[in-house]
A = this chain, B = another copy of it.
Amino acid sequence: MLRIITQWSEATSELRRICDRTHDDQVVHKEATVREVLQAVKRQGDRALLAYTLEFDQQELAPEELKVSPLELEAAYSQVSGELIDAIRLARKQIEAFHRQRVPKSWVHFGDDDVVLGKRYTPVDRAGLYVPGGKASYPSTVLMNAVPAIVAQVPKIVMVTPPGKDKAINPAVLVAAQEAGVTDIYRVGGAQAVGALAYGTETIPKVDVITGPGNIYVTLAKKLVYGTVGIDSLAGPSEVLIIADHTANPTHVAADMLAQAEHDAMAASILITTDAILARKVVDEVEQQLVDHPRRTLTEKAIAHYGLIIVVETLEAAAELSNEFAPEHLELEVADPWELMQNIRHAGAIFLGDSTPEAVGDYLAGPNHTLPTSGSARYASPLGVETFLKHSSVIQYSPIALQKVASAVDILATAEGLHSHANSIRVRKDSLLNPEP
C-alpha cells in the first residue's frame, strides 16, 4: 500500500500533489464562517465566546469560568505522573537552552562624521499562544510556543485552549504552561479564541502576536487577523521527508514515517532512497508496524494517500527532489549526512543520522518543533525568539554629516516629486549656514 516510484516525472508530480494537499476550494466557504465568528467576537466580546463555545465545544461556561483558576492550575500537578513532570522539565530546560543561543541583541554602529546607525530589539508587549484541544492537546506544543516568548522577555503571555468534556483542560498542558512560566490561561478555542486574542474582550486581553497550531478554522482565523496582529505562520498538516542510502535501517525509517503519519490523515511521509532493496524493506516494515498500531485506521489512511517512496540514482537527485518539496522535517539517514546537507536549500528542521529520529526534535532536543509546512520552508523559518521580538532602526546624523548628503537627498526627493522631503533638508541647511545664537 506504500507506493514505490522510480520515474522522475511521476516523482515530481506526486510531490507537487502532496505539497498542495491543503489548497482545496472548500477553504473559501469556511472563510466566510470564520469571518462571521471574528466579527461577532469583535462586537460582542465574551458573550460571543460563550455562545460559540456552547455551539462548537458543547460546553456551557459562565464568563468567570473562561479563565482557568489557580486551584485548577495547582490541581493539574496531582493529575499527571511524576515522571511526566520530570520529562516536561527536561524538555523545558533543553528548549530554553537552545533558544537562548544567539538571541538578537541591539547594536549601534558609529560611522564617519558622528553618524550613528543601529537596530534596537524589543519584545512585543503581549503574546497569545493557541493550544489545540482534543487529541492534539499536547504539552510539547505549550513548551515550544511559551519558552521562546519567555526567552524574548515578553511582559504578558496568555494562552487559549478549548475546553474538553466537563470544561476540563488537559492537565499535562496546564503543567507544561506553568513549567514554562505561563499562568494566564483561557478556556476557549477555535476561530473565536483567535478573535479574542486579536481584538480583546472583557476577559481576554488583546495581544500583539498570535502563535500556535490549530485546525483549518484556527488557521483561517489567523490569516484573517494578520495585519491587526502578527502571527507565527499558517500551519498545515505535518510532513516528513527522509533521504536514505543503503546504510539506513529500514525498521527505523519505517518507524519515523509512521510517527508522522499517525498525526492525522493529511500527514505526509516520504522516503527518497538510492537503494531499491531498502525501499522494499521499508514497505514491509511499515505494514508490520501498522498491525498493532492504536491509531491504525487514521495512520493507514495517511500512508495510503500521502505516503510515498521514490527510488533515485544519486543522493544529489534526492536532494533536488527534497528542495522542490521543501519539507517541514527532513531526515538524512545516509553515511555522511553533513556532506549531503550542503545540497539542501529548504527544510524546516534537518535531522542528521540514524540516532536522530524526528521524535527527539519533536520533544526535547531543543530546537522548535513549530516548523514551516506545505512547502513554506522555501521562505519561512521555525518559530523562535525572533517571533516575539521586533526591532527599530536607529538613525542619528550630525549637522556636518547632514550637510554632506544634503544635495544628494535634495536631488533624489526632487526626482520623486516630493517637495517637502527636499524642503526638510533645505530648512536645516539654512539654519546650519545661519545658526541661531
Contact = CB atoms under 8 A, between A and B. Distances in A.
Contact of A423 (B289, B350, B363, B368): B289
A259 B416 CA distance: 12
Interface in A316-330: 330
Contacts of A172: 415-416
A394 B350 contact: yes
A411 interface: yes
A125 B422 CA distance: 38
Contact of A357 (B83, B345, B428): B428
Contacts of A419: 262, 293-295
Interface stretch (A53-61, A69-77, A225-233): A225-233
Given A84-B412, A355-B399, A382-B393, A120 B341 contact: yes
Given A299-B420, A412-B88, A421-B362, A356 B395 contact: yes
Interface in A155-203: 172
Given A346-B122, A423-B255, A360 B402 contact: yes
Contacts of A409: 87, 359-360, 363-364
A245 interface: no
Interface string A45-82: 00000000000000000000000000000000000110
A365 B125 CA distance: 29
A293 B423 CA distance: 10
A293 B418 CA distance: 10
B91 A393 contact: no
Given A223-B227, A226-B226, A259 B421 contact: yes
A217 interface: no
Contact of A395 (B87, B102, B361, B393): B361
Interface string A357-387: 1111111111110011010111111100000
Contacts of A282: none
Interface in A224-260: 226-230, 234, 249, 251-252, 255-256, 258-259
B119 A408 contact: no
What band does the interface of chain A fall in when counting residues whose beta carbon is under 8 Å from B?
35 or more
Given A117-B98, A140-B416, A421-B359, A391 B381 contact: yes
A355 B402 contact: yes
Given A355-B398, A360-B395, 18 more contacts: A87-B407, A87-B408, A87-B411, A91-B412, A209-B379, A227-B376, A230-B378, A251-B427, A293-B419, A293-B420, A294-B417, A294-B419, A352-B394, A364-B408, A368-B393, A371-B393, A381-B390, A381-B391
Interface of A: 23, 80-81, 83-84, 86-88, 90-91, 98, 101-102, 107, 109, 115-117, 119-120, 122, 124-125, 135, 138-140, 172, 208-209, 223, 226-230, 234, 249, 251-252, 255-256, 258-259, 261-263, 289, 293-295, 299, 330, 337, 341, 344-368, 371-372, 374, 376-382, 390-399, 401-402, 405, 407-409, 411-413, 415-425, 427-428, 431
